Amino acid sequence: MKLFQLGNRVFVSSTLCLAMTVSSRGGEGAEQDIVPVPGESFVITCPPYKMEINTVDKFCMRSVSYEGWKCLPRGSNAMVLVYAPGKFVGGAHREGGEEIVEKAEFLLDGKTMIPETGKTYAAKNFIRKKTAVLDKLKVESVVELSTEGIVERRQFVALEEQPTSLIYLFMYCWTTSTKHWLGCLTNGEKISGDFIDDNKFKLENDVKWAAEYDPAANKGILIFHPAVIPGKGHKSTFWDVAGIYHKYYLQIDTPALIPKGYKSPLAMIVIKGFSAAQGNWRSQAEMSAEELAIKQRGGK
């Protein structure tokens, strides 16, 4: 996959993104390192994190590791629009049409870059900016990787009236090596449970933050919302799919018909890894969430 440059900006033509298929590889947890695939992906190393960007499926995150723990081993981790039953658009989903990437821009330590598939880049900061169209929604999204974790920002505007069955604004295909989950509801109440491979949804609430924990690796992942994003249906949820993933979805609250010209609020999510022994992983998740909350309030 080749990108092209105009001035100091890097673009990808939508025609480069047509007729491409998803590729999911690799095992769970710490079984495999993240490596770039020629013709499919490139990798950014930003210790203690490593991220693989999939050029085939609309420049979404395909895999992520934290301190060598492959917490996100596979998948098309992107926004997905479902405008009618079975009609999915976004990332690898093409059942209802294809996401059209109008522009993609990449910055490595503040400098514009033209990434090449099959290569690994080292940096303290990496940013991917993307403008894409999902059916009748124009979506602006930013993924930022730093030594502090991952930040995603997303906002969309309706170019025309947009029927919606549901919208997954964010989703992440976390490893099945996680065995426990924890969520902090909007009123501060904590709820928790275990992953038991029952193919059912867990959590299903609006949250301030949520976490998964892998006792074999003594590591976990925190999903933090600087501002609560109202949901409907499953809302913020974990899907416990045996042998596939413990997937986090955020189904946002949208009407059945989004009017032309509607602009969504700017949504933001922060992802941060943590290490903890099994006996204190919950307190560590809570501490990590509180540290992020303090930063969001302007503290240190």
DSSP β-ladder status, 201-205 and 245-252:
unpaired
Look up the pTM and report it: 0.89
> What is the full per-residue pLDDT of the chain (300 aa) written as tens digits?
334 333 333 334 333 333 233 333 334 554 468 999 999 999 999 999 999 999 999 999 999 999 999 999 988 999 999 999 999 999 999 999 999 999 999 999 999 999 999 999 999 999 999 999 999 999 999 999 999 999 999 999 999 999 999 999 999 999 999 999 999 999 999 999 999 999 999 999 999 999 999 999 999 999 999 999 999 999 999 999 999 999 999 999 999 999 999 999 999 999 999 999 999 999 999 999 999 999 988 865
So where are the chain's domains? 4-20+30-296
d(CA 73, CA 67): 14
- Listing DSSP states for the chain in one string gives ---EEETTEEE--GGGGTT--------SBTSS-----TTTEEEEEETTEEEEEETTTTTEEEEEEETTEEEE-SS-BS-EEEEETTEEEBTTB-BTB--EEEEEEEEETTEE----TT-EEE-SEEEEEEEEEETTEEEEEEEEEETTEEEEEEEEEESS-EE-SEEEEEEEEE-TT--EEEEEETTS-EEEEE--S-S-EEEEE-EEEEEEEETTTTEEEEEE-SS---EEEEEEEEEEETTTEEEEEEEE---SEEPTT-BPPPEEEEEEEEE--GGGHHHHHHHHHHHHHHHHTT--
| Tokens read off for 84 | 């009618």
Architecture in CATH of 4-20+30-296: Distorted Sandwich (2.70)
